[in-house]
Structure 1
Amino acid sequence: MSETVRDDTFAALHRAGEPLLLPNAWDHASAAALAARGFRALGTTSLGVAAAAGLPDGVAATREDTLRLARGLGSRSFLLSVDAEDGFSDDPDEVAGFARRLWEAGAVGVNLEDGCGPLARHAAKIAAVKSAVPGLFVNARTDTYWLGDGDETDTLRRLDAYQQAGADGVFVPGLAEPRAIAALVRRVGVPLNILYSPAGPALPRLAGLGVSRVSLGSLPYRLALGAAVAAATAVAAGQAPQGTALSYEEVQALSRPDR
């Protein structure tokens, strides 16, 4: 498939008022199970990938693990966007080189976070990636609400710079206040991505606010861990575990190379 077709297919799923719900997988089985439920596009979760490998998240420790997962999932039936933390480097050219490897693995999108670091450096990374791999959908994340104090002026300044650098979409995790979300939708010129929170607006409300993409982030992975602990705890207490468990055969089927 050509760069243009791949880019247009994924980009077209970002519609204001009818957002792309992007579940985030951490391994082959989780991705295959989600795809089997009809999700056309999936993301990866950096926390899930890191935790599954016994590594910390957000410190550029999972570059090869992330690439390995992308190579395993990039040729599947769904569209894949990869959470690449900050690009695993401060060097824009190195980030662009990693993005090209993701593209070659079959990924159609990449998520790049600024960690509230220097604006100019993150903008340079975005520009380098778009120059090296024009067809890759770059979702530029700012952590002003996730790690910072949610300063509106700083958020807008960063998002403006990232759009000017060529970002195809912008991501503001931690932002949950409906009025602020609606204001950003009106302000930015590219699709706005919001991180879903059980304590925040539900998907229909986010759609009504004009959001174009809603990510689940590490929520599915954290829920899966919680369910595993709850099941073991219930059995230890002489109770039957609750929840839905796939059969052995169903999991085996998910592990087929064509899934």
Structure 2
Amino acid sequence: MTTFTELHRAGDPLILPTAWDHASARLLAARRFPAIGTTSLGVAAAAGLPDGAAATREETLRLALALGTEPFLLSVDAEGGFGDDPEEVGEFARELAAVGAVGINLEDGLGSAARHAEKIAAVKAAAPGLFVNARTDTYWLGDGEGTRSRLEAYRQAGADGLFVPGLTDPAEIAALVRDFDGIPLNVLYTPDGPAVAHLADLGVRRISLGSLLYRRALGAAVDALADIRAGRRPGGSAPSYGEVRALSGQSGAGASKISVSRSANATGCSSAPR
């Protein structure tokens, strides 16, 4: 069986779709993605809570519990670890590993790099087998300043992968791949940024979708409602009532029955099934 670490391949990067609940995760897994992530924005918004404010610890753990025994590899977006105390973050990571998660995404929010490194080290001590994707927000929240020094600190602390959302410049992406050779670089896919094939050529080994699918789902719902109100037949695709019911089955039962056609694939991942 291919491990989560082994899915981070040069030339054939891991495309990580992100779910916000049990049904969305199983629907994505039915498209033969070997690993599914979670989106902190989707989890928070679905619960009526703010994202990035350490407000969804229990919701995130509950979702991990629901998904950890499913027949796909699960990586959990844990914001900044839902706390500032590295030991508490390590304990949360241990709980994630105990329910079956294989990865965790930790963001620094442009806070103290030293404290974030301590969190990474605490996670590796508490759950050594958990793949730690260490995210820096230097491009997401800033102008990119300090990216390399932060990533180096996180690598030294034991991070298994490095994540730089907001970075879209091909030359800078390629430079980071070279500078941090040996550890997977993760970037966030954006429709206006480099295509999947281009990112693969640059050496990126993981491509995350962040909150894109959740936001697209909300947009599709609003568009469908507008069509209905205007007397038009809604476009796009939708699983049937029975197919959605099948998503709540036990450990894989029914997931393979979902065969919803999609008119477009914004991730360009026709080669994603492995």
**Normalised-by-shorter TM-score class:** over 0.9
Q: For 1:38 and 1:132, locate their aligned partners in 2 and report how far apart those are by CA, in whole Å.
A: 31
Q: For 1:60 and 1:106, locate their aligned partners in 2 and report how far apart those are by CA, in whole Å.
A: 22
- Residue 192 (1) aligns with residue 164 (2): no
Q: For 2:152 and 2:144, locate their aligned partners in 1 and report how far apart those are by CA, in whole Å.
A: 16
Aligned to 2:272: none
Residue among 224, 229, 234 paired with 1:241 = 234
Q: For 1:127 and 1:62, locate their aligned partners in 2 and report how far apart those are by CA, in whole Å.
A: 22
- Residue 93 (1) aligns with residue 75 (2): no
Deviation of the 1:258 alpha carbon? 2.1
Q: For 2:69 and 2:186, locate their aligned partners in 1 and report how far apart those are by CA, in whole Å.
A: 25
Q: For 1:125 and 1:258, locate their aligned partners in 2 and report how far apart those are by CA, in whole Å.
A: 32
Show structure 1 runs of 5+ residues with no match: none
Aligned to 2:198: 205
Deviation of the 1:254 alpha carbon? 1.1
Deviation of the 1:149 alpha carbon? 1.3
Q: Normalization by structure 2: what TM-score?
A: 0.90
Deviation of the 1:238 alpha carbon? 0.8
2:237 counterpart SS class: coil
Deviation of the 1:239 alpha carbon? 0.8
Deviation of the 1:40 alpha carbon? 0.4
User: How do 1:98-117 and structure 2 match up within 5 A?
Assistant: 98-117=92-111
Deviation of the 1:255 alpha carbon? 1.4
**Cα displacement string for residues 141-182 of structure 1 (whole angstroms, at most 9, x for unaligned residues):** 00000011112xx10000000000000000000000000000
Aligned to 1:143: 137
Q: For 2:11 and 2:159, locate their aligned partners in 1 and report how far apart those are by CA, in whole Å.
A: 20
Q: For 1:82 and 1:183, locate their aligned partners in 2 and report how far apart those are by CA, in whole Å.
A: 27
Deviation of the 1:97 alpha carbon? 0.2
Aligned to 1:181: 173
Q: For 2:112 and 2:251, locate their aligned partners in 1 and report how far apart those are by CA, in whole Å.
A: 42
Aligned to 2:262: none
**Cα displacement string for residues 90-124 of structure 1 (whole angstroms, at most 9, x for unaligned residues):** 00000000000000010000000000000100000
- Residue 42 (1) aligns with residue 44 (2): no
Q: For 1:100 and 1:69, locate their aligned partners in 2 and report how far apart those are by CA, in whole Å.
A: 15
Q: Normalization by structure 1: what TM-score?
A: 0.96
Percent of residue pairs identical: 69
Aligned to 1:250: 243
Read off the aligned partner of 2:179 and give its amino acid letter: R
Q: For 1:131 and 1:257, locate their aligned partners in 2 and report how far apart those are by CA, in whole Å.
A: 32
Q: For 1:258 and 1:67, locate their aligned partners in 2 and report how far apart those are by CA, in whole Å.
A: 18
Q: For 1:26 and 1:53, locate their aligned partners in 2 and report how far apart those are by CA, in whole Å.
A: 10
Across the aligned residues of Structure 1 and Structure 2, the Cα RMSD in angstroms comes to: 0.9
User: Which runs of structure 1 show a deviation greater than 3 angstroms over 4 or more consecutive aligned residues?
Assistant: none
2:3 counterpart SS class: helix
**Cα displacement string for residues 186-241 of structure 1 (whole angstroms, at most 9, x for unaligned residues):** 01141000000000001000000000000011000000000000001110111111
Aligned to 2:51: 57
1:9 counterpart SS class: coil
Q: For 2:52 and 2:33, locate their aligned partners in 1 and report how far apart those are by CA, in whole Å.
A: 26
